[in-house]
Chains A and B, each alone.
Chain A
Amino acid sequence: MTLSDISSDSSTASTAIGPVTGGRRSWRTVRRIVLYVVLIGLSFLFALPFLWQASASFKNSAQILEPGLNLIPESFKLDNYSRVFDSVPFDSWFYNSLFITLLGTLGATFSSAFCAYGFAILRARGSNICFALALITIFIPFEALLIPEYILFAQLGWLNTPLPLIIPWCFGGGAFNIFLMRQFYKGLPRELIDAARVDGASEFRIFWRIMLPLTIPALTVVAVFHFIFLWNDFLRPLIYLTDVNETTLPVGLSGFLSRFSRQWAILMAGSFMALLPIVVLFAVAQRFIVKGINLTGVRR
């Protein structure tokens, strides 16, 4: 049986491991029930903020600010939603967010997977210093670079274009993602690479044909993380996109909660619509994160 068969939710999976006797079977049933109770309880707890936001999007401002577990709205009227579309260019913000996030995620995922292969597998003079330099970029507080970076992109003439939000990610995808991919490469069995090298495969071929397919869970993690990061990013769109119609969802929606005007109800509807794509994305992507990997096939 291949490993990907095991991975998807199949109740037969447990039988693959060891013989099961009668007494152990009933113990297993108890265990299973406990597991379900724990899972259902915890997932309700974890889903609460999301469920609450969903229900708040149907309420009026006063109801939103009431404390307590009132998750069921009085009615499911779509007033708040229609007010979002009437009052702001929601579709334009949505499109901008999607455009920037998709391209940025694509660039970051592939380029970080590519660069991480060098950092993880290959030995070279200077590799440690390069990796240290990469890591340092994670540690610098954002304010320190805010102004110099802004000046750099201003000089390049990239203000009010999505370029500063996309292009840098296409070059290496950020140290966080490189580091993450490196850890996954390093955990893979060494024999795979040694064998491939003995066979005369080029490093690029090893990367493309062996490492990449084997790290689909890690690639998915990088893509999901980066998508959510870009989708929710506030600071960069705020300073690089100053045209109100060409901005992204987080910056645009912040207008509903400004100093002199707080429109809770519309904010909740807008935020919930902004939230849905990443929830759907994750629900789809998690299948790839947990997909088992069939090493035997690669290893011959």
Chain B
Amino acid sequence: MRHPDSGKTRRWRSRSLIALVAIFALVAAACGDDDDDDEASSAPAVTTTAAAAAAEMDDDDHGDDDDHAHDDEPDSDMGLPTGNVELRMAYFNGGGQTQIDFREEQAADFNEMHPNVTVRMEPIPDWSTTIFPQIAAGTAADVLWGGTDDGYTQMVAINAFQSLQPFIDDEGFDLSPWPDNMIQHFSDADGGSLILPVSNLAFNFLYYNKNLFDAAGVDYPDASWTVDDLINATRDLSIPDEQWGLSFAWGDLYQTWMRMYGCEFANDATYPSDYTYNGPACVEALTDLDELARNGYINWELGAKFGGLAPGDTAGETAFSGGHTAMLLSGTWEAGSISENSGGAFEFDAAPAPLKQGGKIQGAAEGFGIYSGTDHPEWAWELVKFVAGTEGQEREAKLGLGTSPIESILDGAYCTSPAPPANKCEVAKIGAANTEWEPLTAAWGPGFWDVITPAAEAAFLSDAAPNWQEVLDEAVDLSRMAGPLS
């Protein structure tokens, strides 16, 4: 609807509009500058250098004899700064309310030991979305969770953690209970520890439904099983459109399967310089898996097109708990969900997933470290030790939460707990000893995940069985372009 006087005045108006835009832009620029400055100043004070932290500690060590506030707790607060402190700890909440309650209890106990320190636990259901803005604003918690499946690589790349090494050296903190490969994996390029690992989520729990095995007359799996045994049992236990031999917990567990065959994803497990996931073991693994999926033996999201999903399109734990699938490949954490969701309809146990020559177990390890921007590094270290040290891990193991990477703890608490599966101890130990984690190079995300996920999915879902060598060769080429490692 044109205005009658639109001719001349329109031009006049448009000129003044331009002037107004200019004014606006100026105002905007002024505001924007302020904001940019804020942002810059609030960017994380990258790495309160370890040396400084160590020096501070030395000072405290020498002068601590008289400022000891709580005589009834000998040496617990030795050398630690006094005064009231609010300490925050952020963790990825993958365990629901049980985990929240457990951490709250830990916070209360820490406060009882150190009355001047209040601990606030922050469970985070969506890690990347929450933690990265916090790191950008410099408001992340003093103690930060780090998990290899959730942005840990990126967090290391942006120096979100400060090195634990000065504290470890200073106290002579004993790392020997932890598996060497794990400590190495959680180190920076100089070999200094960044994370005190609290659990290792190894994907080597082969849960099996005893009732379905009995019905099919198949022997239960055990540590002597080979990959071929697993494949044969998967076939034998399948009933078309009714029952599946094997379930995968998640869609990307094809990677676990590749590792089982001895497939090396890159030329170095922690700081690689090239992608190598097109080797013969990798090709063999995916070819075998593809065949199982195309015949509908596997209950798995990527086998959906070939009858690979149970009623309600459920895969993984849900299908296993519903009694639709005989075996489930996953980790220790599924036991609770299986008990809850199956309602005791069948008996189940677990066996270690079989490995081929040179095979590894895919793992997602997690632990706690100190945020590089914290104001209370000493107290943060105390809390890290309290939560992730042997005592903390023991408490967690008693609850049946997670899997401690420390063997003595598995023996003491986890192995003796009555909770199913009966064979969990053996499986967990094999898992801890053979796990391999994701590399810690920042380019790994765009180079590996962004390339292999669509490539593998497209191949698994294609109408005819693909040539996996070609698929992987192409993907590796693309990886080298998308995320050069050297």
Direct A–B contact in the complex, CB atoms closer than 8 angstroms: yes
Residues of A within 8 A of B (CB): 60-62, 65-67, 87-88, 125-126, 128-129, 133, 146-148, 150-152, 154-155, 159, 235, 238-239, 242-244, 251, 254-256, 258-264
Query: Whole-angstrom distance between the alpha carbons of A134 and B76 in the complex?
Result: 57
Complex partner residue of A147 from B125, B132, B317, CB under 8 angstroms? B132
CB contacts (< 8 Å) of A133 on chain B: these are: 24
Q: 10 tightest CB-CB pairs across the interface, nearest first?
A: A150-B133, A259-B94, A260-B333, A261-B96, A154-B137, A65-B312, A242-B122, A126-B20, A61-B341, A151-B137
Query: Whole-angstrom distance between the alpha carbons of A251 and B124 in the complex?
Result: 9
Do A159 and B133 have beta carbons less than 8 Å apart? no
Complex partner residue of B342 from A62, A129, A239, A254, CB under 8 angstroms? A62
Query: Whole-angstrom distance between the alpha carbons of A263 and B314 in the complex?
Result: 14
Complex partner residue of A260 from B38, B94, B138, CB under 8 angstroms? B94
Do A148 and B341 have beta carbons less than 8 Å apart? no
Residue of A whose beta carbon sits closest to that of B332: A260
7 A–B contact pairs at CB < 8 A? Answer: A65-B318, A238-B129, A243-B122, A244-B121, A255-B97, A255-B100, A260-B333
Complex partner residue of A264 from B97, B130, B341, CB under 8 angstroms? B341
Query: A152 and B333 in contact (CB under 8 A), knowing A65-B318, A239-B130?
Result: no
Query: A126 and B125 in contact (CB under 8 A), knowing A65-B322, A239-B133, A244-B100?
Result: no
Query: Whole-angstrom distance between the alpha carbons of A129 and B16 in the complex?
Result: 11
Residues of B61-105 whose CB lies within 8 A of A: 90, 93-100
Do B13 and A263 have beta carbons less than 8 Å apart? no
User: Chain A interface mostly helix, strand, loop or mixed?
Assistant: helix
The answer to the question of B337 belonging to the interface, with a C-beta cut-off of 8 Å to chain A, is yes
Do A258 and B126 have beta carbons less than 8 Å apart? no
Do B132 and A125 have beta carbons less than 8 Å apart? no
Number of A-B contacts (CB under 8 A): 120
Residues of B within 8 A of A (CB): 13, 16-17, 20-21, 24, 35, 38-39, 42, 90, 93-100, 120-126, 129-130, 132-134, 136-139, 311-312, 314, 317-318, 321-322, 333-334, 336-337, 340-343, 345
Residue of A whose beta carbon sits closest to that of B35: A152
User: Chain B interface mostly helix, strand, loop or mixed?
Assistant: helix
Residue of B whose beta carbon sits closest to that of A234: B126
Give 5 new A-B contacts, CB below 8 A, not counting A239-B130, A262-B341.
A61-B343, A62-B321, A146-B129, A151-B137, A260-B334
Query: A260 and B42 in contact (CB under 8 A), knowing A66-B311, A239-B130, A251-B125?
Result: no
CB contacts (< 8 Å) of A261 on chain B: these are: 94-96, 98-99, 333, 336-337
CB contacts (< 8 Å) of A238 on chain B: these are: 125-126, 129-130
Do B122 and A244 have beta carbons less than 8 Å apart? yes
> Smallest CB–CB gap between A120 and chain B, Å?
13
CB contacts (< 8 Å) of B100 on chain A: these are: 244, 255
CB contacts (< 8 Å) of B311 on chain A: these are: 65-67
Residue of B whose beta carbon sits closest to that of A133: B24
Do B312 and A258 have beta carbons less than 8 Å apart? no
Do B139 and A128 have beta carbons less than 8 Å apart? no
CB contacts (< 8 Å) of A259 on chain B: these are: 94
Do A260 and B341 have beta carbons less than 8 Å apart? no
CB contacts (< 8 Å) of B132 on chain A: these are: 147
Residue of B whose beta carbon sits closest to that of A152: B35
Do A62 and B133 have beta carbons less than 8 Å apart? no
> Smallest CB–CB gap between A214 and chain B, Å?
20
Do B133 and A155 have beta carbons less than 8 Å apart? no
Residue of B whose beta carbon sits closest to that of A244: B123
> Smallest CB–CB gap between A137 and chain B, Å?
13
Query: Whole-angstrom distance between the alpha carbons of A100 and B333 in the complex?
Result: 36
CB contacts (< 8 Å) of A129 on chain B: these are: 17, 20-21, 24
Residue of A whose beta carbon sits closest to that of B125: A254
> Smallest CB–CB gap between B175 and chain A, Å?
26
Do A154 and B130 have beta carbons less than 8 Å apart? no
Do A152 and B17 have beta carbons less than 8 Å apart? no
Query: Whole-angstrom distance between the alpha carbons of A60 and B21 in the complex?
Result: 61
Residue of B whose beta carbon sits closest to that of A126: B20
CB contacts (< 8 Å) of B133 on chain A: these are: 146-147, 150-151, 239
CB contacts (< 8 Å) of A126 on chain B: these are: 17, 20, 24
Do B125 and A243 have beta carbons less than 8 Å apart? no
Query: Whole-angstrom distance between the alpha carbons of A235 and B125 in the complex?
Result: 11
CB contacts (< 8 Å) of A128 on chain B: these are: 17
Complex partner residue of B16 from A62, A125, A159, A262, CB under 8 angstroms? A125
CB contacts (< 8 Å) of B318 on chain A: these are: 65, 262
CB contacts (< 8 Å) of A262 on chain B: these are: 317-318, 337, 341
> Smallest CB–CB gap between B367 and chain A, Å?
16
Residue of A whose beta carbon sits closest to that of B341: A61
Do A242 and B341 have beta carbons less than 8 Å apart? no
Query: Whole-angstrom distance between the alpha carbons of A238 and B35 in the complex?
Result: 23
CB contacts (< 8 Å) of A260 on chain B: these are: 94-96, 333-334, 337
> Smallest CB–CB gap between B94 and chain A, Å?
4
> Smallest CB–CB gap between A160 and chain B, Å?
9
Query: Whole-angstrom distance between the alpha carbons of A160 and B72 in the complex?
Result: 36
> Smallest CB–CB gap between A37 and chain B, Å?
32
- With a 10 A CB-CB cut-off, give which of A65, A152, A263 has the most chain B CB atoms: A65
Query: Whole-angstrom distance between the alpha carbons of A126 and B13 in the complex?
Result: 9
Query: Whole-angstrom distance between the alpha carbons of A264 and B124 in the complex?
Result: 20
Query: A125 and B125 in contact (CB under 8 A), knowing A150-B134, A238-B130, A260-B94?
Result: no
Do B129 and A87 have beta carbons less than 8 Å apart? no
Query: Whole-angstrom distance between the alpha carbons of A133 and B317 in the complex?
Result: 49
- With a 10 A CB-CB cut-off, give which of B93, B121, B138, B345 has the most chain A CB atoms: B93
Query: Whole-angstrom distance between the alpha carbons of A128 and B333 in the complex?
Result: 58
Do B20 and A148 have beta carbons less than 8 Å apart? no
Do B120 and A243 have beta carbons less than 8 Å apart? yes
Do B125 and A155 have beta carbons less than 8 Å apart? no
Do A155 and B129 have beta carbons less than 8 Å apart? no
Residue of B whose beta carbon sits closest to that of A151: B137
Query: Whole-angstrom distance between the alpha carbons of A148 and B345 in the complex?
Result: 51
Residue of A whose beta carbon sits closest to that of B15: A125
Do A148 and B129 have beta carbons less than 8 Å apart? no
CB contacts (< 8 Å) of A256 on chain B: these are: 96-97
CB contacts (< 8 Å) of B126 on chain A: these are: 238, 254
Do A66 and B312 have beta carbons less than 8 Å apart? yes
CB contacts (< 8 Å) of A239 on chain B: these are: 129-130, 133-134
Do A258 and B124 have beta carbons less than 8 Å apart? no
Query: A155 and B38 in contact (CB under 8 A), knowing A150-B137, A243-B120?
Result: yes
Complex partner residue of A154 from B121, B139, B321, B337, CB under 8 angstroms? B139
Do B13 and A151 have beta carbons less than 8 Å apart? no
Do A148 and B312 have beta carbons less than 8 Å apart? no
Query: Whole-angstrom distance between the alpha carbons of A155 and B31 in the complex?
Result: 14
> Smallest CB–CB gap between B383 and chain A, Å?
17
- With a 10 A CB-CB cut-off, give which of A61, A128, A254, A259 has the most chain B CB atoms: A259
Query: A151 and B96 in contact (CB under 8 A), knowing A126-B17, A126-B20, A255-B125?
Result: no
Do A235 and B129 have beta carbons less than 8 Å apart? yes
CB contacts (< 8 Å) of A60 on chain B: these are: 343
